[in-house]
Amino acid sequence: MRISRCIAVFLLGLLWTVLSSAVRAEEEQTYYFGVLNQRSVQLTAQYWNPILRYVSERSGVPLELRMGKTAVETTAMTVRGEFAFVFTNHLFTPERERLGYRVIARPDSPDIQASITVRKDCPFRSLSDLDMAIVVFPSREAFVGYWVPMDALLKSGIKVQAVFGGNQEGAIAQLQAGAVEAAAVNNRVLENYGRRENFRYRVIWISEPYHDLPVMVNPAVPKSKAEAVRNALIGMRNDPEGRKVLETSAALLKLPEPVGFVSADDRDYDNYRRFYRQTIINED
C-alpha cells in the first residue's frame, strides 16, 4: 500500500510538472507578426518594432516582426501560415479567403487608392499616353499597386511593359531615378515618400478608395490572444506611452501625424472582394 501511494504521488507530481510546463510554454510562446513590404525591410522594422514591443507589453502576447525580402516572399509566408498576425491586404482573393485569416483592426488613416504616376517633368497627362510605356509596379501581389491599376489599363485597352520594384517605395524610387516612365503605387505611400524625399510627381489616374491594410489574425491563434492584441493596438493613441511610440514612428517616415489603430472586421473590406470578382486580369 505504501509503495502504491508513493507511485501515485510520483505520478501526480509528474503530471503537475508536465501541465505546468505546458502552461509556461503557452505563456512564453512567441507570435510572429508579418508586415507586408511597402518600404525596405530596414525601414519597416524601424517603424514597426517599437509598436510591437508596446503591444507585447500591454497585451501579454509576445510579438516578433517577421517578413520576407519582398512582398511576394512575405505573402507566400502568410499563405503558408507562418504568421500569427499579419498586416496585409493580400488575403481577399476567393482562394485565400479559405485560409481563414480574420480582420481585427486597421490604421486610423485615410483610405488608400491606386495611383498611376509620372515624374513632374514628364509630358504624359492621361492613361492613353501610356500605351507601350514602361510602367513599374511593386509586385504582382500588390492590390492597389498592381491589380487595381492593371485592371484599369486592360479595360482601357492600353498595353504597357510591366516591370517590378519589389515594394511600393522601390517602385517609386525607380520612377524618381528616371528608369521607368510611370509607376503604379499606393497613393498614401507615394505622398509620404514624396514628402520625405522631396520627389515631385504628377498623378494621371487614381482609383476608388479602399480601406488601408488591415491587421489580420491566423485562425489558429486563441481568441483571447487575438482580443488582447486588438485591444492593445486600438488603445495606443489614448495611452501616453502608446501615443509617444506612434509619434516616434510617424516622425521616422515624416508622416503629417501619428497613425493609430481602430477596430475593424471583415465587412470593412467587401469592396476588395467585389473587385476580385469583377477583374478581367487573368494570372493563370
The b-or-e profile of 239-270 (16+ CB within 10 A means b, else e) is: eeebeebbeebbeebebeebbbbeebebeebe
19: pLDDT strictly greater than 80: no
Higher pLDDT, 24 or 235: 235
Q: Supply the pTM of this predicted model.
A: 0.86
Assess contact for 216 and 104: CB atoms under 8 A: yes
Cα distances (angstroms) measured from residue 192 to each of 141, 147, 224, 255, 278: 21, 22, 35, 6, 30
The confidence score (pLDDT) of residue 86 equals 98
- Give the mean pLDDT of 53-66: 98
The confidence score (pLDDT) of residue 28 equals 64
215: pLDDT strictly greater than 80: yes
| Mean pLDDT computed over every residue of the chain | 91
261: pLDDT strictly greater than 90: yes
- Give the mean pLDDT of 200-206: 98
Q: In angstroms, rounded to a whole number, what is the distance separating the alpha carbons of residues 43 and 157?
A: 37
Assess contact for 31 and 62: CB atoms under 8 A: yes
What share of the chain in percent tops pLDDT 90? 89
283: pLDDT strictly greater than 90: no
The confidence score (pLDDT) of residue 18 equals 35
Strand partners, 66: 34
